[in-house]
C-alpha cells in the first residue's frame, strides 16, 4: 500500500466518512484515519444511533404498558436489560458495517491508529508500537467532540457517568440524577424514566433546552413533569460525593446562593460537548483555535495552513451530525474545484424525546432580539385526524412569518414524528417560501403534515380545523 494520497481525512464520524466518500467520488485517492476500532465516530457508536435504539425500545415498552390495551391489544411487557443492550449493539454494528462497505466500494484506504499532523502535508499514525507516516496534498480534520466536564464531578462510568455511560447501564436505577437539561440529558432521561427510574434534572439555566424555542421547551417540561420527571432549574452542582449506599449531590442556587443536598443511585453528567483536538499536534503546525477550542477556518473550511481543512464539531456552529455531513460534502467539492456551500440558516435540530421537538430557522426570541416584526400561526395536533387515530395528540406546529413579506423565518414543531415532519419545513426555508406558499400546497389526508398546512393558514387566522 502506498503511503501517499491526494487527501487524508482524520476521523470517520459523520463529517469525516461522508467527506472521504465524496472525495473518492470526485476522483481522489483517499485515506481515512480512525483511532477507535469501529468507524462512525461518536454518532454511530456512543451517540445518535445507540440513543435512538434505546429511545425506540423504551417507547415501545411504555406504549405496550399504557396504550396497547386501548386498541384491544393485551400484553404484559417486561424488560430484559441484557437483551435491550444487545439490540442496541446490533444496531450499532449494522451501521458501522455499512460504512466499511462504502469505504471498500469507493476504494478508500482505512488506517487504524492515532493521528498527529507533523507538517502541512504529512500525518504520523501510531497504533501500539507501530508508527507510520502518510502524506497528502490535502488534510481534513474531522475528529468530532467529547463530553464536557465540570469541577467537583469525577466521572467513573459506574456510579458517576457521562452520556456514554448512560447508554450502557446494566440495570434500571431506582434514582437517576442528570446534570444538565439539554437535548442529550432529556433524551437519555426519557429512556430510563420509561423503564422505571425516578429521574431528576439539575439545570443551571432557568429553563430546559436553552437553545430551543421557549414555548416548545416549556410545553415539554410541563408534559415530562406530569410523567414523573423532576426539574430543578437555575441551580448548579457543586460536587458529587460517594457515600456508603448512595451519591450525595451538593447544589447551589444560582440566584440566592442557597445550598441543598440530594441523593441518587446514579449521577449522569450531560453539560454539553467540546471539540476533540487533543494529540493532533495543532500547536506545532501553528493552527489557530478560538476561546472555545474550535479550529479557526474561513468560508472554504481552510485553516491557517491552506491545505489543511477542518469540519464538523471541531469548528464553530451547532454540534450536529447532519451539519458535519453537509460540511464534509462541501469541503470535498471545494478541494476538487467544485462549488461547495452550507446554508447555516436552515440547519434543523431535533430532540428525540416523546413528543419530539424539531426546529429550523429563527425562534421568537431571535426575531425579537433582531427587531423583526413577525406573525405567528399555530395548529395543535389534537385537531389532526391522523394524530387522533395514532393516539398521539400532544404538541403543535408553530410557523413564524415576516409581518410585511410573509416570508417564513422559522418553523417549530412539538409532536410525534416531528423529526420527520421538519424536512418539509427545511425545504420551505431553503427555497424562501412564504406561509401562503405552504398553505396553498396540497397535503395528503390523513397525515400529520396537514398540521403544517393548517399552521400556515393560521398565520392569517384562516386555519380550517382550529
Q: How far apart are CA 463 and CA 466, in angstroms?
A: 6
DSSP states of 109-166: EEEESEEEEEETTEEEEEETTEEEEEEEEEEEE---EEE---TT----SSSEE-TTGG
Do 125 and 48 belong to one domain?
Answer: yes
Average pLDDT for the chain: 97
Q: Is residue 255 part of a domain?
A: yes
Percent of the chain with pLDDT over 90: 98
**Bond prior to 355 in cis (omega within 30° of 0):** yes
Give the residue numbers annotated as catalytic, written as ranges.
Answer: 445
Q: Is residue 170 part of a domain?
A: yes
3-state helix, strand, coil in the chain (%, to 5): 35, 25, 40
Domain's final residue, options 342, 359, 386: 342
Pairing of strands 266-269, 130-141: unpaired
Q: Is residue 101 part of a domain?
A: yes
Do 298 and 256 belong to one domain?
Answer: no
**Dihedrals φ, ψ of 464, to 5°?**
-80, -45
- CATH code at 223? 3.50.50.60
pLDDT in tens, 166-175: 999 999 999 9
Do 136 and 228 belong to one domain?
Answer: no
Domain that holds residue 358: 347-458
Please tell me what DSSP assigns to residue 357.
Answer: E
Residue 140 has pLDDT above 80, yes or no: yes
3-state secondary structure of 98: helix
> Is 0.85 surpassed by the pTM of this model?
yes
Find the mean pLDDT for residues 239-256.
Answer: 95
Domain's final residue, options 241, 271, 301: 271
Percent of the chain with pLDDT over 70: 100
pLDDT in tens, 45-57: 999 999 999 999 9
Do 236 and 355 belong to one domain?
Answer: no
- Please tell me the total count of domains within the chain: 3
Do 375 and 351 belong to one domain?
Answer: yes
Find the mean pLDDT for residues 422-443.
Answer: 99
Do 58 and 75 belong to one domain?
Answer: yes
pLDDT of residue 292: 82
pLDDT in tens, 399-422: 999 999 999 999 999 999 999 999
Do 166 and 301 belong to one domain?
Answer: no
H-helix or E-strand spanning residue 81:
helix 81-105
Domain's final residue, options 342, 369, 391: 342
pLDDT of residue 215: 98
Residue 151 burial (CB count, 10 A): 8
Residue 379 C-alpha from the chain's centroid:
26
| CA proximity to 132, closest of 307, 2, 277 | 2
Amino acid at each position: 500500500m502506498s503511503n501517499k494520497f491526494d487527501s487524508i481525512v482524520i476521523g470517520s464520524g459523520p463529517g469525516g466518512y461522508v467527506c472521504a466518500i465524496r472525495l473518492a467520488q470526485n476522483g481522489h485517492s483517499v485515506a481515512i484515519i480512525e483511532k477507535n476500532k469501529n468507524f462512525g465516530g461518536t454518532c454511530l457508536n456512543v451517540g445518535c444511533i445507540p440513543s435512538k435504539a434505546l429511545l425506540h425500545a423504551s417507547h415501545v415498552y411504555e406504549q405496550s404498558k399504557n396504550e396497547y390495551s386501548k386498541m384491544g391489544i393485551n400484553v404484559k411487557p417486561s424488560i430484559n436489560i441484557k437483551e435491550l443492550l444487545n439490540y442496541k449493539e446490533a444496531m450499532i454494528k449494522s451501521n458501522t458495517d455499512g460504512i466499511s462497505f462504502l469505504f471498500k466500494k469507493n476504494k478508500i484506504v482505512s488506517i487504524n491508529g492515532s493521528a498527529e499532523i507533523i507538517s502541512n502535508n504529512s500525518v504520523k499514525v501510531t497504533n501500539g508500537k507501530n508508527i507510520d507516516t502518510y502524506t497528502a496534498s490535502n488534510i481534513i480534520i474531522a475528529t468530532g467532540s467529547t463530553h464536557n466536564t465540570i469541577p467537583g464531578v469525577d466521572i467513573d462510568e459506574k456510579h458517576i457517568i457521562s452520556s456514554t455511560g448512560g447508554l450502557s447501564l446494566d440495570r434500571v436505577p431506582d434514582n437517576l440524577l442528570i446534570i444538565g437539561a439539554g437535548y442529550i440529558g432529556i433524551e437519555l432521561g426519557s429512556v430510563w424514566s420509561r423503564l422505571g427510574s425516578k429521574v431528576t434534572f439539575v439545570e443551571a439555566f432557568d429553563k430546559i433546552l436553552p437553545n430551543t424555542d421557549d414555548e416548545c421547551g416549556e410545553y415539554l417540561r410541563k408534559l415530562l413533569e406530569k410523567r414523573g420527571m423532576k426539574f430543578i432549574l437555575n441551580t448548579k452542582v457543586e460536587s458529587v460525593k460517594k457515600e456508603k449506599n448512595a451519591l450525595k449531590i451538593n447544589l447551589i442556587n444560582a440566584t440566592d446562593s442557597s445550598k441543598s443536598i440530594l441523593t441518587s443511585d446514579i449521577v449522569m453528567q450531560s453539560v454539553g460537548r467540546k471539540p476533540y483536538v487533543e494529540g493532533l499536534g495543532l500547536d506545532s503546525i501553528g493552527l489557530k483555535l478560538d476561546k472555545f477550542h474550535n479550529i479557526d477556518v474561513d468560508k472554504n473550511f481552510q485553516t491557517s495552513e491552506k491545505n489543511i481543512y477542518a469540519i464538523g464539531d471541531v469548528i464553530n456552529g451547532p454540534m450536529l451530525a447532519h451539519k458535519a455531513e453537509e460540511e464534509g460534502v462541501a469541503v470535498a467539492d471545494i478541494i476538487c474545484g467544485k462549488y461547495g456551500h452550507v446554508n447555516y440558516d436552515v440547519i434543523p435540530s431535533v430532540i428525540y424525546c416523546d413528543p419530539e421537538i424539531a426546529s429550523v430557522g429563527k425562534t421568537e426570541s431571535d426575531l425579537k432580539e433582531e427587531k423583526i416584526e413577525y406573525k405567528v400561526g399555530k395548529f395543535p395536533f389534537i385537531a389532526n385526524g391522523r394524530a387522533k387515530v395514532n393516539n398521539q395528540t400532544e404538541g403543535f406546529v408553530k410557523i413564524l412569518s415576516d409581518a410585511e413579506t410573509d416570508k417564513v423565518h422559522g418553523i417549530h414543531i412539538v409532536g410525534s414524528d416531528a423529526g420527520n415532519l421538519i424536512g418539509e419545513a427545511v425545504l420551505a426555508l431553503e427555497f424562501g417560501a412564504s406561509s401562503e406558499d405552504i398553505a396553498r400546497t396540497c397535503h395528503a389526508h390523513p397525515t400529520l403534515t396537514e398540521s403544517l398546512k393548517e399552521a400556515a393558514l393560521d398565520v392569517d387566522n384562516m386555519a380550517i380545523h382550529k
